[in-house]
């Protein structure tokens, strides 16, 4: 039986152990997946401990995604772009490879589960922290027409755009940063990657960014996503929370570790029923 875990702080509410246990059951993979609360200054030590207990991999959540990218021996191009990793793959020789499946999960949830194409669309990405950085590359690879990044702190949006300029150019996507105040234009898909709702700060962008039928996607789920979903509905847009992204990023990690693709749509349905 192979050992995996999710490392984070806090981690008590993580649904990853449930999701991976279900994936393992449905694909008959012999693995256990634990939850590990890591002290804020203890990531490197806990990763060593995982290696010593024969761990084969882990997921990384807040606030260790940058530490994980740095601790690894090798990094996928996605990690290099985002500067953050949510998945570590540990080889038999102890080699640690870092990947980031958050963006693939978001893209899979939007295109497959919500049935909304990204190619050719105008997209607004709100936020420029770790969550937003992790998804910009995979979004660009879908070849939308345009991606606008806005953030409360403008220079962080500009830095994120600058870091992705070469990729955007090769994908023929117009990529630009805009000030959150005075944001103009409307978009087919609006993605909220900010922590604003956790702070009860309201919606960080004006409703004029929405068109009737726009997809308004919050990377969070549960209570944290509710204000954004309510706002979307009030303005004629289609709200969607990040539960599908959570399950799909887990599926991508599972596939990296096991070489087997789990039935993620079934598990998403089951998880929604569990949480309802």
Q: Is 222 left (phi over 0), alpha (psi -120 to 50) or beta?
A: left
How far, in Å, CA of 161 to CA of 244, rounded? 26
Nearest to 102 by CA among 212, 16, 230, 195: 16
65 counts as catalytic = yes
Name the closest residue to ligand ATR (Cβ).
Answer: 129
Q: What is the DSSP string of 49-99?
A: HHHHTT--EEEE-TT-HHHHHHHSSEE-HHHHHHS--SEEEE-TT--EEEE
Binding piece for ligand ATR, criterion CB under 6 A, among 107-115, 190-198, 206-214, 241-249: 190-198
| Residues 137-176: x where in contact with ligand ATR by CB under 6 A, - otherwise, as a string | --------------xxx--x--------------------
Q: Does 227 bind ligand ATR (CB under 6 A)?
A: no
Residues 13-42 touching ligand ATR, rule: CB under 6 A, are none
Tokens of 74: 């090798």
Q: Does 45 bind ligand ATR (CB under 6 A)?
A: no
Q: Kindly state the smallest distance separating residue 214's Cβ from ligand ATR, in Å.
A: 20
The binding site for NADP(+) consists of: 127-131, 151-156, 219, 242
Applying CB under 6 A, the residues found at the interface with ligand ATR are 62, 127-131, 151-153, 156, 194-196, 199, 201, 204
């Amino acid at each position: 039986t192979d050992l995996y875990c999710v490392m984070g702080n806090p981690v008590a509410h993580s649904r990853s152990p449930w999701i991976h246990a279900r994936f393992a059951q449905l694909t008959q993979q012999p693995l256990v997946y634990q939850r590990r609360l890591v002290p804020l200054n203890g990531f490197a030590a806990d990763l060593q401990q995982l290696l010593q207990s024969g761990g084969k991999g882990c997921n990384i959540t807040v606030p260790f995604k940058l530490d994980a990218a740095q601790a690894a021996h090798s990094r996928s191009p996605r990690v290099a772009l985002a500067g953050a990793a949510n998945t570590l793959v540990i080889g038999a020789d102890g080699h640690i490879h870092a990947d980031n499946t958050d963006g693939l999960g978001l893209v899979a949830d939007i295109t497959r589960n919500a049935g909304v194409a990204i190619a050719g669309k105008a997209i607004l990405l709100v936020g420029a922290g770790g969550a937003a950085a992790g998804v910009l590359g995979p979004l660009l690879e879908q070849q939308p027409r345009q991606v606008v990044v806005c953030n409360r702190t403008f220079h962080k949006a500009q830095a994120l755009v600058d870091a992705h300029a070469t990729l955007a150019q090769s994908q023929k996507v117009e990529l630009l940063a805009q000030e959150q105040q005075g944001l103009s234009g409307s978009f087919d898909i609006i993605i909220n990657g900010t922590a604003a709702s956790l702070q009860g700060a309201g919606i960080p962008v004006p409703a004029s960014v929405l068109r009737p039928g726009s997809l308004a996607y919050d990377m969070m789920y549960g209570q944290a996503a509710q204000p954004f979903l309510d706002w979307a509905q009030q303005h004629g847009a289609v709200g969607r929370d990040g539960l599908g992204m959570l399950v799909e990023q887990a599926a991508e990690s599972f596939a990296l570790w096991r070489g087997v693709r789990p039935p993620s749509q079934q598990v998403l349905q089951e998880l929604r029923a569990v949480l309802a």
